[in-house]
Amino acid sequence: MKKVAFISMMLCFVFTLSSSACFDPLDHFATEVVLNKPNISYNLKPIEDAHNVIIEDDVIIYRSHFDKRIAVMLSKINADLGDGNILKGLSVRIQIPTKTIIISHITSGLLVEYTSINQIDEQFIRSLGYDVTVERTEFQINLYMKKGDMTFNMSQFLKAGERKLSISLVIANAEFLTDEIKSELEKIIKSLGLDEKVLKELESNLTKYNTDNLVEAIDIKKSEFDFKSAMKTELNWLRANNIVNNVGDDDIKAISELSEVGISGWNSRVIYAKGKWLPFYESGFGMLRDGGGGCGAFEPEKLPDGELNFSSAISNLDNKIVGKWGEIKSRMLR
């Protein structure tokens, strides 16, 4: 059996994972709206002066009024959309705190010449717990198999004189092939009518690499968190405290209904366009991309110690006024 290590393909795969993983990773743990509808206005001064508020890089951060473990981020947006169109308004973002973990992956690949898949028993492969997809064209058969963190794919090239079989294996959260996985792969390879040496070749070509992945840093799963209610609560609070004005009940309802996990960031967040609230990618404007940030987490430590408090700010101001008047009276009585 003549074989060629499928290294170039796998390196390309790894590079793609690494580069794409850095594209606004926090957006996958957030939802966001830009209040750019005409006549909507805002005044951030009361929040800027409040207690338990952090201002970092022109972003105001405080704890959510829906769930104090969650962050609310307010920022001013003024983005050029091209052709004279400007996206301008207050961004309201609901963000789950995250942390970075290192995940180990193993991968392997082969390009086997003069070898063909004899048959594909989809039912048997599914009986082992795999999702199976088969694609057939005139000159190629693609077999995709996935189970948990493992992806096992094959492509059979059928063109005359170029009979080849490419095989790729990728397993996340793993550092080696377990006996259980090897047993399953052996059964699949045998069911396809392939040489049992294929498994040994895959094992000998195994490569390990690590990726940095963001996960929830608190006991809240992004898939289970009620982003819609969190956004509704926050918009109502901002309106009730005159931070935002001219936001109607219909606006809050429409925005909240769109506020799902991942509807966040330059190309996905909710904006007002075409006479209604919609995700940016449905607005008809060209895709945007923020030039900064890079990969990084929003750790719980970046949240203020307590909940936003206006009365503390007023109390502090009163104390300053009383103190100043005391100094003036003292001087007058001298």
> pLDDT band at 318, cuts 50/70/90?
very low
| Residue 281: inside a domain | yes
Residues forming beta bridges with residue 145, ordered by sequence position: 132, 152
Q: What's the mean pLDDT in 56-64? A: 96
Do residues 57 and 199 both lie within one domain? no
In whole angstroms, what is the distance from residue 120 CA to residue 130 CA? Answer: 13
Grouping H, G, I as helix, E, B as strand and the rest as coil, residue 224 is: coil
H/E stretch holding 41 reads strand 41-42
What domain count does the chain have?
2
**CA-closest candidate to residue 67, choices 213, 221, 214, 215:** 221
pLDDT higher than threshold 90 for residue 82:
no
- The reported pLDDT for the residue numbered 241 is 97
pLDDT at residue number 162: 74
Question: In the 8-state DSSP scheme, what is residue 287?
Answer: P
Average pLDDT score over the chain? 86
User: Residue 15: CB partners within 8 Å, gap ≥ 6?
Assistant: none
Assess contact for 262 and 24: CB atoms under 8 A.
Answer: no
Residue 264 counted as domain residue: yes
Domain that residue 235 falls in: 18-97+217-308
Mutual angle of helices 197-204 and 179-191, in 10-degree steps: 140
What's 136's domain CATH number? 3.30.160
Res. 39: pLDDT tops 80: yes
Check residue 295 and give its pLDDT: 55
pLDDT at 233 over 80: yes
Assess if residue 196 is contained within a domain.
yes
- CB-based contact 54:292 (threshold 8 Å): no
Do the bridges between strand 71-82 and strand 244-245 make them parallel or antiparallel, or are there none, so unpaired?
unpaired
Highest mean pLDDT pick, 8-22, 118-132, 304-318: 118-132
Does position 129 have pLDDT exceeding 90, yes or no? yes
Q: Confidence band (pLDDT; 50, 70, 90) for 289? A: low
Q: What percent of the chain has pLDDT over 70?
A: 84
Strand pairing of 164-172 and 150-157? Answer: antiparallel
Q: How does residue 312 score in pLDDT terms, banded at 50, 70 and 90?
A: low
CA 40 remoteness from chain centre? 29
Q: With the CA atoms of 4, 5, 10 and 11 taken in that order, what torsion angle do they form, in degrees rounded to the nearest 10?
A: -110
Contacts of 196 (CB under 8 A, 6+ apart): 186, 189, 190
Domain edge (last residue) among 151, 171, 205: 205
Asked, for residue 182, whether it belongs to a domain, the answer is yes
